[in-house]
Amino acid sequence: MSTSTKPTFYTVFSNSMKQEEYLPNLSEEATKISDLLHGLVFSDAIYYMKDEIFTADRLIANFSKYGDKFDIFYFSGHAKDGALKFSDNFISNTDRMADVININLKNLQLGFFNACETFDLAKKIVEKRQKTQSTNKLVMITCGCEINAFLAERFATLFFNHVGRPGTYYDAYKNASTLMSLVNDKLRFREFYDFKELATASADFDYAFIDIPAPVKPAPPPAAMMSPSPVSARSAGSAVPSYASAAKSTPRATPKPNQSIINTDKKTLDILSANYIRECTQTAMTSNTLDSKQMEILNEAIKGTQEVADGNLVTGKVKQLWKEAARILPGVDSKNDFKSLVKISKGTYEKALDQFFGKSHKQPTLANMQLSTKPVE
């Protein structure tokens, strides 16, 4: 990670200029993700860069200037057999692209390749990291086969809606994949934690979470701790990397359980939590997989939350509804998230909400949630 405590996000959206390959919803995906991340920028929680026309020239310029500062890199667009395709129709070489990721983005924590058949690229990145014994921990999310563009947009949106809330990259992946399984129970998700398993795996899945431990460098032999031998002597001007100097380097702020990927103030966390409930509720209620009892629970939970926002007390009945709703909505905290939804619906967060969502009808308030989940007659 960069020396700053704020992580740097770089999202790129690489649409094709060819009519037959144009992704109709990629701009909408870019807007949804960018709106959320720009809100975090205005809250002074992250640094953020974005490209909606991602060409080879943009890659070279931004990777060479800022690559070592990127903590999260997100690519969305076309790919084939591990080769990323850019907006100028440049097709990356998988082997060379893996080198670029490992060398230019040397401090990367998360690489999310939301494009068809990017599993080969992820495998190549890990393979090269194992050979060079890279000590930087890198998590990746990748696609094994061809992926529907609209499902890809929804999955990414749900994933990024977890940013800023308590939990790790895995929590964000797991919650998003669980919700997506409500939308389409044929989606296949895998997880890889072992290099040998990864290397021999076939791409028989839609999305995979890859978290291969960084290779452990062997400790220097005891002789190295003694006075240097003539063989190890260098000229006065040369710099010899040492294990001691590496140990003193700034540690990466990898999220741990119950920690957030980023640090946020309470008001920002309330907004993120309310928005997460909205996204989860809309996804669940439009999935056609909930039974009538579950639908009733979610509707009653929203109604009870509205009553609290209107000034009523949080009764035992409302608390129970929140608990039952949280069992349906993965990643929702029944103790805190609904209270956040109450706070932002009372009209005291206008300025902060404007920074995240702009127009009032886009804000994750109870009024907007009730409109979006109202059955069509």
DSSP 261: S
d(CA 124, CA 130): 10
* CATH of residue 67: 3.40.50.1460
Length of the chain in terms of residues written: 377
Whether 258 is in a domain gets the answer no
Number of domains in the chain: 2
Whether 235 is in a domain gets the answer no
Q: Which structural domain, as residue segments, surrounds residue 195?
A: 8-210
Structural domain ending residue among the three candidates 164, 185, 210: 210
**Looking at the structure, do residues 82 and 204 belong to the same domain, yes or no?**
yes
Q: What is the pLDDT of residues 327-363, one digit of tens each?
A: 999 999 999 999 999 999 987 888 888 888 877 788 8
Whether 197 is in a domain gets the answer yes
How many Å from the N-terminal Cα to the C-terminal Cα in the chain? 51
**Looking at the structure, do residues 151 and 39 belong to the same domain, yes or no?**
yes
Residue 76 has pLDDT above 80, yes or no: yes
**Looking at the structure, do residues 286 and 202 belong to the same domain, yes or no?**
no
Who wins on pLDDT, 190 or 246?
190
Q: Are 5 and 47 in contact (CB under 8 A)?
A: no
Whether 238 is in a domain gets the answer no
Q: What is the pLDDT of residues 38-54, one digit of tens each?
A: 989 988 899 999 998 89
Whether 252 is in a domain gets the answer no
Structural domain ending residue among the three candidates 210, 225, 246: 210
**Looking at the structure, do residues 35 and 135 belong to the same domain, yes or no?**
yes
Percent of the chain exceeding pLDDT 70 equals 85
Residue 232 has pLDDT above 50, yes or no: no
Whether 83 is in a domain gets the answer yes
Whether 217 is in a domain gets the answer no
Q: CA separation (Å) from 293 to 189, 281, 297, 371?
A: 28, 15, 6, 20
- pTM of the shown model: 0.83
pLDDT of residue 249: 36
**Looking at the structure, do residues 153 and 292 belong to the same domain, yes or no?**
no
**Looking at the structure, do residues 42 and 180 belong to the same domain, yes or no?**
yes
For range 111-133, the mean pLDDT: 95
